[in-house]
Structure 1
Amino acid sequence: METRTSDAAAWRTTAACLGAALLLAGCGGDGGDPPVPAVAELQQACPRLAGTTVGPGAIGLPSGTATVASATLVAASADLPEYCEVKGSIAARTAGADAIRFQLNLPTTWNGKALMYGGGGFNGTLINATAALRDAPAGMPRPLTQGYATFGTDSGHDAAAYNDTDPGRFALNDEMFANFAHASYKKVKDVAHRLIDGFYLRTPSQQYFFGGSEGGREGLMLAQRYPADFDGIVSVVPVIHWTGLFNGFINWTKPQFNGGALNTAEIRTVAQAVTGACDALDGLADGVVNNYLACPARFNLQSLRCTAGADTGDDCLSDPQLATLAAAYGPTTLPFALANGLTTYPGRLFGGEIQPGSEGIGRWVTNGRVPGVPTPLADDGRGVIYGSSYARYVIARDAGFDVRTFDPANFQARIQEVSALMDSTNPDLSAFMRRGGKLIVRENTGDMAQSPMAGFQYYDSVVAKMGAADVDRFMRLYVSPASNHGGAAASLTTGETVPTTADLLSELDRWVTTGTAPADALVQVRNAAAPPHATLASRPMCRYPSYPQYVAGDATAAASYRCTVSAP
């Protein structure tokens, strides 16, 4: 069944009459939104969605036809309710481009709302939108269990076609790269709404987006490019200044070819020095750097320099090793302006050197050996792999390009073109604000994958553009000290897990539906993994630029802290 009109009533009537989506209503015209069909009717309707098509005219960007390949009623399980699993694709418009794959999950008990999940890395893997949300507390029901219709996409390319060390190869195709940049999310959202409308006989009362890292960039991009499409967005550790970040990956890769790699013991030397200098700045020596903006003034990497800058052992750093870390903790400056006039990507904050889940310097920056060229090795630092793939496929468009020779001045036009597509740095969110949109951003100060300072600077640019009073009406920026890119944190001295999880979706939904803004301090928790998921520890997550300062009492209780401005 193909839809060729943007009129919702015609879509419902066509779906009902043709039987491709629903056989639940008469075909005599629209008499207003009927009630959501009964569970038994939705169960019967689910398999009939297979074969449904949504034509290009119903999609808000130039697009191929969307086709539902399968529609399967999935029985309820311990973690998920009964739902209709819908898988499909949106056809490419040009030869050689992959289709955009999507999955839409339609619970038979619906709360009337929809949630799109964001992707990660270079994408290319279908997000099935059934998992727990990023940073969700243990025991929190998944969005689908809460009654949300959920959906996700692979952003328009299949990563299974590429080696793990070539994740950016799809960017050689212009359509696939534009889909990755922004277009696929808009297209999939439009298709999802057509299918939701056909299934439930109405579109969602609220449409939300929740993503982290690359998915966080997607969320901000949607607020900037498609402000009318989403009522609320949660953006966690967003890769806002994508182009600057990837040039920075190259900057920390180059010294590693000349003795700049750090082994595990040397990384621990750095972590212990940072902890010694900055741990107690929050009033509590617990192996966690909470006072994130004060630390850089208290610690200097040069204090770890070996005699004469030579590599003399694991308890100090050579000049090439210091150059690697300077590229990670220092700014990346380009000799020309990128989108929205930016020339510099900020460095990282101290406190994330060693983190749970093998995160930290060892995962993102260096693994102690010389990287491979032109193709990096599969277990090189992720930043090394990403920077190499960016240089070869996104910018030089040459698989054999040697990253050691990369000079941005030689690729100015292409880098600026990529920045205009990829960077979600536009500070003008006035259209999103005017339509009532709400935005929650979370940054993690122990993040070595991307700089939390990029999020701070973006927030400041929005305030400078729109004014603090207006920004306060629709945007919140929270900071989770010491948390790594994936969200977790642990004490360097004791190994104890720090409470870092919080229910941001409920905060967003309450703000959108009732107008109740999130508090200036939210409570992060560490819950037991097993039911009943008792809270074992808690800590405030403060609005930028504040941090949780220890006052007195039980260090594992949020009430023992107060949010205090973190200042250099």
Structure 2
Amino acid sequence: MHTTTAPRTPTRHGRLRPGLLFGASFALAVAACGGDGGGDTSGTAPPPDQAALRTACPALAGTKVEGRLLGLPSGDATLASAQLVAAGDATGLPEYCQVRGAIAARSAGADPIRFQINLPLSWNEKALMVGGGGFNGTLVTGLDPLRDAPAGQPLPLAQGYATFGTDSGHDAAAYLATDPAKFALNDEMFANFAHESYKKVKDVAHEVFRRFYQRAPRKQYFFGGSEGGRERLTMAQRYPQDFDGIVSVVPVIQWTGLFNGFLAFTQPQFHGGTLDTASIKLVADAVNGACDALDGIADGVVSDYLGCQARFDLQALRCPDGGDGATCLSDAQLATLKAAYEPVRMPFPLANGITTYPGRMFGGEIQPGGEGIGRWISTGQVPSVPTPAATDARGVIYGSSYARYVIARDPAFDVRGYDLLAYADRIRQVSEWMDSTNPDLSAFFKRGGKLIIRENTGDFAQSPAAGIQYYESVVARMGQSDADKFLRLYVSPASSHGGRAASRTTGQEVPTTHDTLDTLDRWADAGVAPADALVQVRRDTAAPHKVLASRPMCRYPAFPLYGGGDPLSADSYRCSSLGAR
């Protein structure tokens, strides 16, 4: 693979250690909680040995972290349980102390914020917060593989990271799967989902680290995708001093625009615009036929994502009279697809002056695991109202729940009557809470933070162009030179929202995984800037997890251009922004 390492040397700014703001007051808090009052002794004394940590673990149970010590108004956090978990060959996890607890709600009717913190006895003095997904509501344990991690990759906890996560302050099990946003009727729970819970849980975790390890982490990272990716960018924008490094994968950056987009492609489906399997296949095959070879090889993978946007004409699939047809699309079906592929234009500005939500990209219409148009846009059935059916497309379900519980705040609201202008004030208010579109990352940059964003061009859950648009807004605000010192945007062609891709012609899955945590850590801790091309791999799922194929993931705006040789080897590609067109 022909790669170009970025020649710039990132400036090494002094960093504030997470949690240092609490100062001497922490010792009093720990004493009040029944814990060790040693506070942050990082750099002045050796950490406790493993025997001491084994004793310290169960002593955490039943203690509290007072709400006054957190960075936002909050109830007290109670550590409900703390138990040693033995190392296990089956799980691949080391011996660690598992802490579970909750932060008490501040208002009547609100749920507590649940969290889990995992403290390895062999600690690398780094911490990793892991983000959620969808509407959250499920406890993120910090014990699962990270998004897009290669098969066989040791879990972060096994690498020595202290890990933690949260449910963001509500329990999804309390609601129907077709009503995932019902919790938003409670203002505190919605504020926790927007951004407050992540700050609160991070602050609690750091109190626990200092109580258990007698020191704060040397480095604090945040890793997440989709909703979790939005959370990561939110933290960089709202709480820039809290994290040394962030990985944000397929983030729902323009949350409000995205959900209005869900409603935009729902509306035509009430008027004949549903898409069955045959219609989706028609689109997928046409896109592949027009764009496959733009990247230098006809392999069933659309890698030249920008070239395909310019080349493919969706209107060319229209039936001659605009009616139904077996080998063409009706006007109603085209209306649904155009609402997904073309920008959603708002009649008023959202937070940070945003007026459009960009359309999705061509390529990836049918994906492994059922991803693509059939999962997110249309399942071929007319959507149910007011409550969608469980068999409706996920975008239809999400859009309906957003309209009924976040905007109209009426469970019986019929989305067929959704009017942007009628709800303009509420939409703008929600945008200020939810949208991670602030391009001013100067505070995060000045504290030495590093940010890696990944977009997948076959993503139909959200538009990869939204991440591109955000990246370009940061560059416009801060300048390319400064942006290059702390920010990278990589693009994985044809990959789905979940990070998988397969050839349209052979069905063979292509390389989409990369150890992005390691890439971030080397940049944030050792000052080694990421290359312009990262190697994605497809490994055997069985040990020893042999690499079966590799391909570069290029820094935006480049894509992997095939130059000859073994198509399963990354060495046969170079990152190019010109293409074969």
CA contact under 8 A between 1:85 and 1:103: conserved in structure 2?
yes
Q: Partner of 1:261 in structure 2?
A: 274
Q: State the match for 1:11 in structure 2.
A: 26
2:295·2:304 contact (CA, 8 Å) conserved in 1?
yes
Query: Kindly, what percent of the aligned residue pairs are identical?
Result: 67
Q: Does 1:321 align with 2:341?
A: no
Q: Confirm or deny: 8 A CA contact 2:42 2:216 kept in the other structure.
A: no
Query: Is residue 214 of structure 2 the alignment partner of residue 190 of structure 1?
Result: no
User: Larger RCO: Structure 1 or Structure 2 (Cα < 8 Å, ≥ 6 residues apart)?
Assistant: 2
Instruction: Select the residue among 290, 295, 302 that pairs with 2:308.
Output: 295
Aligned residue among 490, 501, 504 for 2:502: 490
The match for 1:439 is 451
> Distance in 2 between the 1:181 and 1:285 partners?
43
Map of 2:17 onto structure 1: none
8 Å CA contact 1:8, 1:197 repeated in 2: no
Q: How many residues align?
A: 559
Deviation sequence 1:68-116 (CA, Å, 0-9, x none)? 0101111111211111110000011111111000000000110000000
Q: Show the 5 A alignment for 1:13-32.
A: 15=30, 20-22=34-36
The corresponding residue for 2:146 is: 133
CA distance in 1, matches of 2:297, 2:160: 42
Measure the CA separation in 2 of the matches of 1:133 and 1:31: 28
SS at match of 1:85: strand
* Matching residue of 2:229: 216
Question: 2:416 matched to 1:401?
Answer: no
Counterpart CA distance in 2 for 1:290 and 1:103 is 39
Contact preservation (8 Å) 1:9, 1:30:
no
Once residues 370 and 533 of structure 1 are traced to their aligned partners in structure 2, the CA distance between those partners, rounded to angstroms, is: 44
Partners of 2:23 and 2:61 lie apart in 1 by 20
**Aligned residue type for 2:71:** G
Distance of 1:148 and 1:30 partners within structure 2: 19
Q: Is the 8 A contact 1:261 1:369 kept in 2?
A: yes
State the Cα distance separating 1:468 from its structure 2 match. Answer: 0.2
Q: What SS does structure 2 have at the residue aligned with 1:312? A: coil
Query: Runs of 4+ in structure 1 displaced over 3 angstroms?
Result: 5-15, 17-22, 29-33
Pairing of 1:134-533 with structure 2 (within 5 A): 134-313=147-326, 315-533=327-545
Equivalent position to 1:119, from 121, 132, 139: 132
Unaligned stretches of 5+ residues in structure 1 = none
- In the alignment, the residues of structure 2 paired with residue 423 and residue 468 of structure 1 have an alpha-carbon distance, to the nearest angstrom, of 23
Q: Distance in 2 between matches of 1:376 and 1:179?
A: 26
Q: Deviations over 1:359-381 (max 9, x none)?
A: 00000000001011000001211
1:37 equivalent to 2:54? Answer no
SS at match of 1:501: coil
CA contact 2:130–2:164 (8 Å) conserved in 1: yes
The structural deviation recorded for 1:30 is 7.5
What residue identity is the alignment partner of 2:192? Answer: N
**Residue type matched to 2:390 in 1?**
A
The structural deviation recorded for 1:304 is 1.1
**Cα distance between partner residues in 2 of 1:19 and 1:246:** 43
- In structure 1, C-alpha distance between the alignment counterparts of 2:264 and 2:33, rounded to whole Å: 57
User: SS state of the match for residue 463, structure 1?
Assistant: helix
Residues 302-311 or 359-368, more deviating: 302-311
Q: Which residue in the other structure is 2:69 paired with?
A: 58
Secondary structure (helix, strand or coil) at the match of 2:101 reads strand
The answer on whether the counterparts of 1:33 and 1:201 sit within 8 Å (CA) in structure 2 is no
User: What CA distance in whole angstroms lies between the structure 2 residues aligned with 1:183 and 1:173?
Assistant: 14
The amino acid of 1:546's aligned partner reads A
Amino acid at match of 1:429: L
1:440 and 1:298 mapped to 2: Cα distance?
29
| Alpha-carbon distance in structure 2 between the residues aligned to 1:492 and 1:26 | 60
Cα separation, partners in 2 of 1:562 and 1:88, compared to 1, 3 Å: same
Shift of the alpha carbon at 1:45? 1.2
Q: Matched residues in 2 for 1:417 and 1:425: separation?
A: 14
Partner of 2:16: none
The SS at the match of 1:309 is coil
Letter in 2 for 1:77: G
Q: Is the 8 A contact 2:41 2:215 kept in 1?
A: no
Q: What is the CA distance between 1:9 and its match in structure 2?
A: 5.1
Return the offset for 1:411.
0.4
5+ long unaligned stretches in structure 2: 1-19
CA contact (8 A) 2:42 2:215 kept: no
For 2:573 and 2:425, how far apart are their aligned partners in 1? 49
DSSP-derived class of the 2:158 partner: coil
What's the RMSD between the two structures over aligned residues?
1.7
Q: CA deviation at 1:312?
A: 2.4
TM-score for both structures, normalised by structure 2: 0.94
CA offsets per residue over residues 311-351 of structure 1, 9 Å max, x none? 122x2111111100000101101100000001100000000
Provide the C-alpha distance between the structure 2 equivalents of 1:145 and 1:12, rounded to a whole number of angstroms: 30
- 3-state DSSP of counterpart to 2:484: helix
Range 301-310 or range 177-186, more displaced: 301-310
| Alpha carbons 1:212, 1:235 under 8 Å: kept | yes
1:93 and 2:93 correspond: no
